[in-house]
């Protein structure tokens, strides 16, 4: 059933189940929401609305893209505020 050729792809997962995932921040969506990727098995996680880590599914990618857009708008607005308040 299982081909021996496909084994190497399985090793990183074995490594992770043994030593644990090595997640690194790959994207900062907002102050609180980040996307993480495991450097070994490329598993992706993200922060959900409860502040817990969850698997980065296409649905969450979509949500994060929207969050990022809102966050960037807020950043621009808050930057304008600090500029105007420093002038006044
Ligand atoms: Zn991993």
* Helix (H/G/I), strand (E/B), else coil: 52: coil
pLDDT at 22 (0 to 100): 94
Is residue 17 a contact partner of residue 41, using CB atoms and an 8 Å limit? Answer: no
Question: What whole-number distance in Å separates Cα of residue 7 and Cα of residue 11?
Answer: 7
Residue carrying the six token digits 């081909």 = 3
Q: Which residue has the tokens 């922060």?
A: 47
Q: What pLDDT score does 86 carry?
A: 66
Tell me, in angstroms, the distance from the centre of ligand 1 to residue 18's CA: 10
Q: How far apart are CA 74 and CA 59, in angstroms?
A: 23
Q: Write down the pTM of the prediction.
A: 0.72
Q: Kindly list the averaged pLDDT for each block of 10 residues, start to end, along the chain of length 88.
A: 53 85 96 95 93 95 96 89 66
Tell how far the Cα of 57 is from the centroid of ligand 1, in angstroms.
Answer: 16
Q: How far is the CA of 47 from the centre of ligand 1 (A)?
A: 17
Dist. CA 81 → ligand 1 center (Å)? 42
> Quick check: 60 and 82 in contact, CB under 8 A?
no
Gap from CA of 32 to ligand 1 centroid (Å): 22
pLDDT confidence of residue 8: 55
**Could you give the dihedral angle defined by the CA atoms of residues 57, 63, 64 and 65, in that order, rounded to the nearest 10 degrees?**
110
């Amino acid at each position: 059933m299982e081909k021996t050729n496909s084994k190497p792809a399985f090793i990183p997962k074995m490594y992770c189940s043994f030593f644990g995932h090595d997640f690194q921040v790959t994207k900062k969506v907002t102050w609180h929401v980040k996307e993480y990727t495991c450097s070994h098995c490329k598993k992706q996680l993200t922060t959900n609305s409860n502040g817990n880590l969850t698997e980065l599914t296409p649905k969450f990618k979509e949500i994060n893209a929207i969050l990022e857009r809102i966050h960037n708008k807020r950043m621009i607005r808050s930057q304008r505020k600090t500029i105007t308040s420093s002038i006044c």
